[in-house]
Amino acid sequence: MAPLQQDNPLESWQVLEEKVVYDNLPWLRLIEQHVLLPNGRHIERYLVSEGLDVVMMFPVTPAGEVIFVEQYKHGMGMLSLDLPAGYMDSSDSSPLFAAQRELEEETGYRSERWTHLGSLFMSPNRSRGQIHYFLAEECQPAGHQHLDPTEELRVRLFRLEEIPGMMLDGAVLTISSIAGMALGLLALQQGLTHPQAGRTISDGR
């Protein structure tokens, strides 16, 4: 699709001043900015955030089942059914490597067929943080989960044909997982899978 043509291209905001008001990296840093808009208006104390990028997987078994995880999410205050996901950390050589690591840690499954589905911004008004989406095909059990001390996950499998209904009936309530489900289904339905070359978990870190 051709880009939208504009007689007056939109301009970026100009940061006149900024200061860190909260710093707890790698999880979150809040920055307060004084910004100048192209129309001459000022916004003081505009908050932007920095943190870790996220990887999320649409993992499919040879039997055509999609792997989900169910866990308590404290922000929501309730159980949440989601695609497997996790933060990238400083030891991850790439989003693909992080996705391979997180899939095995959270679910105990491993895949050798990976397709990058795209990278989307989580909160574009406030952050440059992205979610990197991957399709993982032919997922096989590889052992046990390797959970963090704060994690308690239940692995659940759903048939591919159930996924559209789950997107519409409220079974999944998070925007990030709905986007991953849509991207995964679209890639499979339109044959858009392009297995990526790259080091897998079994190659070692």
Is it the case that residue 196 has pLDDT exceeding 60? Answer: no
Q: What is the pLDDT of residues 142-179, one digit of tens each?
A: 877 777 777 788 999 999 999 999 999 999 999 999 99
Mean pLDDT of all residues in the chain? 89
In this prediction, what percent of the chain has a pLDDT beyond 90? 77
Of 183, 179, 203, nearest to 193 by C-alpha is 183
pLDDT at 75: 92
Please give the Cα distance from 56 to 102 (Å, whole number). 9
Instruction: Tell me what pLDDT residue 1 has.
Output: 56
For 51, 131, 165, the CA distances from 123, given in Å and listed in that order, are: 12, 10, 26
Task: Give the type of residue at 98.
Answer: A
108: left (phi over 0), alpha (psi -120 to 50) or beta: left
pLDDT digits over 99-120, tens only?
Answer: 999 999 999 999 999 999 999 9
pLDDT at 202 over 60: no
- Confidence bin at 199 (pLDDT 50/70/90): very low
CATH class assigned to 54-203: alpha beta
| 8 A C-beta contact, residue 18 and residue 32 | yes
